[in-house]
Chain A
């Protein structure tokens, strides 16, 4: 893979079937954690949220119940994710004819909870690239402004910390993150 300057972990959450995985698959040059189906019975592992820099909360614009569950997901975020995590609300499936949630409803919710907002269609590849590019840009800026400093509980951005261990074995670790996660690797510098 090309060299990168920063590595970011981005996680996706939201009800089953809202299109999280489709979003990810639309953008395979990035590395993004998906829920692996553990959201179906609200049994996502805490470790899923560890060290995330950005968190994408997805609902289906044609399904009111997926929107109604957003507060539950927010509670889960509050409990397990870092307070510094970049939060993005995504209304997916804009290709659907049977929209139940007008854009402004999503916008207002996002605004109220201090989140970014975007509507996408993973099926039509609409706005998906924009979503991830914007996240990468925003995270890069946050890093430069010192938002993710050393003491924060989000992933360490400097790849020099040798006391962290990357597997498989090597002491001259190439990056401290590669072992475990889906990361956005941003080469935008």
Chain B
């Protein structure tokens, strides 16, 4: 099934994390010749989504002791050239721990389905589709009306709205409990978690935030003061202050007033665009997003190869990267984009200092929602770093409706900064899953791991100027960082080119034989960039599949989108 592979490219992209995929798509989009390779047999790298079976395999690979096997693949070098061996991308992970929580008593129905899903065998519908998708090291949420991102991936991915935002509220001396955060006007009206007086205060405050920048005089005094001081001046109660800082603005109280207000405004103006919260979640997990960009790249003729390790980069005497060596074969490129985890150690010194920023991640499968509701909910919860919880923990709960786990089970993701996932998330786990109280969910599976936060590392100064290192996920909810990084890499490579220009509109695509039965299956053209190939010289039988697919993709999309 292998086809012949050209050896010269404008851009070679190594690794299929989100940033790499956006750069690959953007490069192909403006006509650059792109080769995209990954040593894994799945897409997404640190952003991938896995089935249960895949995650076991992943855990096995990441807990086995991996001695650094230096890649010493032979390759004919010319004078002045040297090889820079790539790194084992597993170097960014630590403390990986997977547990199945089987119980001695007779298994309940839900446990049964979870274990069946694990084995993937069986006759029931759920087991024959072992799609209990649990996500690895992931960003879960698309937030804040990120139009840019939406426009780019809308063709190839589906989204669901996060339906509720929860908070953990400690009242007086109690242990605290989960409450739904009233974040829109109608929420404030209907909520029972704030008093009538508070409702008026909150409503007034939300309205103010919506257009705070039009009333600068109200702010002058607080310009450089903490956000909480400003909230006090608006006479907000502790209760409301908690909702506002922890769940709507999602800041710590001492951020400057202006930043707090900006985040409030972003949240409020993002409401109602797609649903009742400003957040979207990608169906089937966040691993779909890198794939969406890969498809975009492939449609614009990018070449894709998985299961293809890269042993070294080839560097000349002027410290410029000439290409890479993979399975003994040499590939040339003008620009090389690479997942920082794969990059040669001297380009990004990961693991050299113990205090490199790191993320703690916990992934759980539970048998009921953390706050059951008659309808399945997609839930976002942010546990602030107080009342005994050491770190701000971002928690996402998704159910079967999002295509990530079987019906009636839930998948919970926890993320915080830290160096020991199990320890850092202990309080969060205790609060949500408790110690077996009947009303609380039972944990069926738990996975903990730590991941170096590459977004906080210097990825530029150590690398040759035409090698671009890409980071993995950061702690933020949104994808702003990844998009900005991709844009930055693209602009450094091609300062003259537009970053992901709008795809042609359907009515801009003209078929020279529109309406008529084509004489020859391949005799097809359009007036868009993709159609500019000299058709006359192309023997239909010899056209590459990309060319065909490209053309077809646009035709087909035009028939659909033209109807809107």
Contacts and interface: CB of A to CB of B under 8 A. Distances in A.
Interface of A: 1, 15-17, 19-22, 24-26, 28-32, 34-43, 45-48, 50-51, 65, 69, 72, 82-83, 122-123, 125, 151-153, 163-165, 167-169, 171, 174, 178-180, 182-183, 185
Given A1-B563, A37-B301, A153-B403, 6 more contacts: A16-B545, A24-B556, A31-B559, A36-B545, A40-B303, A180-B155
Contacts of A38: 294-295, 298, 304
A165 B560 contact: no
A1 to B, nearest CB: 3
Contacts of B304: 37-38, 40-41, 43
Nearest to B131: A153
Nearest to B142: A165
A108 to B, nearest CB: 22
B496 interface: no
B1 A178 contact: no
A186 to B, nearest CB: 14
Interface in B140-176: 147, 150-151, 154-161, 163
14 contacts: A20-B545, A28-B556, A28-B559, A36-B546, A36-B549, A82-B129, A123-B521, A151-B400, A163-B275, A164-B160, A167-B154, A167-B159, A171-B274, A178-B561
B478 to A, nearest CB: 16
Given A22-B548, A82-B129, A46 B156 contact: no
Nearest to A32: B556
Contact of A37 (B125, B131, B151, B544): B544
Contacts, number: 186
Contact of B295 (A20, A47, A82, A169): A47
B550 interface: yes
A19 B540 CA distance: 11
A46 B306 contact: no
B7 interface: no
Contacts of B259: none
A123 B147 CA distance: 42
A41 B3 contact: yes
A168 B549 contact: no
B160 A36 contact: no
A30 B299 CA distance: 18
A48 B295 contact: yes
B1 A15 contact: yes
Given A50-B284, A178-B564, A183-B560, A40 B545 contact: yes
B299 A165 contact: no
Given A34-B552, A36-B550, A163 B559 contact: no
Given A25-B555, A164-B158, A171-B274, A72 B1 contact: yes
B560 A1 contact: yes
A179 to B, nearest CB: 5
Contacts of A1: 559-560, 562-563
B42 interface: yes
B43 A46 contact: yes
Contact of A165 (B156, B275, B522, B552): B275
Given A26-B521, A122-B521, A163-B160, A21 B129 contact: no
B71 interface: no
Given A21-B549, A69-B1, A169 B273 contact: yes
B290 to A, nearest CB: 9
Contact of B292 (A47, A69, A82): A47
B524 A25 contact: yes
Contacts of A179: 154-155, 158
A124 to B, nearest CB: 9
A26 B552 CA distance: 10
Nearest to A178: B560
B154 A28 contact: no
A77 to B, nearest CB: 12
Contacts of B273: 169, 171
Interface in B506-564: 517-518, 520-522, 524, 544-546, 548-553, 555-557, 559-564
A36 B559 contact: no
A131 B553 CA distance: 19
A47 B557 contact: no
Contacts of B252: none
A104 B564 CA distance: 44
Nearest to A51: B158
A89 B503 CA distance: 33
A42 B298 CA distance: 13
Interface in B270-307: 272-275, 280, 283-284, 287-288, 291-292, 294-295, 298-299, 301, 303-307
B68 interface: no
A35 B545 contact: yes
B559 A37 contact: no
Contacts of A153: 129, 131, 403
A182 B522 contact: no
From B1, B280, B561, residue with most partner A Cβ within 10 Å: B1
A31 B556 contact: yes
Nearest to A15: B1
Given A1-B562, A83-B125, A37 B545 contact: yes
B150 A151 contact: no
B291 A46 contact: yes
B303 A168 contact: no
Given A31-B556, A40-B3, A47-B292, A180 B154 contact: yes
Contacts of B42: 46
Contacts of A168: 150-151, 154
Interface string B297-319: 01101011111100000000000
B193 to A, nearest CB: 23
Which 3 A-B pairs rank lowest in CB-CB distance, beginning with the nearest? A1-B563, A21-B548, A167-B154
Contacts of A169: 147, 150, 273-274
A44 to B, nearest CB: 8
Contacts of B298: 36-38
Contacts of A185: 560
Nearest to B305: A41
